[in-house]
Amino acid sequence: MNGDNFYIDLVFNNYMLKYFVLIDLKLDKLTYQAIGQMDFYVRYFDNEVKDEQGNPTIGIVLCSDKKDTIVKYAVLNDNKK
């Protein structure tokens, strides 16, 4: 994408159910930047990688610690996943 490189830790593709699962591994506490980064990856896969028959991409951030406020408010309201 415009000469920039972005890397997700793990990508799984379920061919039967037609969806991607993206997993980002964080060794420290969850931040809103990590959630925004995952949102970026999910939107990219939905728009550029999956085909028209595919189901929406699922994004998972695994971390060692979290604060409930970050989890509650960092996810976009229009995101149904």
Q: What would the pLDDT profile of 57-77 be if each residue is shown by its tens digit?
A: 999 999 888 777 777 676 655
Taking the CA of residue 11 as centre, how many other CA atoms within 13 Å lie in the half-sphere pointing to its CB?
A: 14
Mean pLDDT over residues 34-42, rounded? 91
Q: Which residue has the higher pLDDT, 2 or 37?
A: 37
Q: What is this structure's pTM?
A: 0.79
pLDDT for 12 equals 95
Mean pLDDT over residues 19-35, rounded? 90
Helices (H), the chain: 32-44, 68-74
pLDDT for 75 equals 65
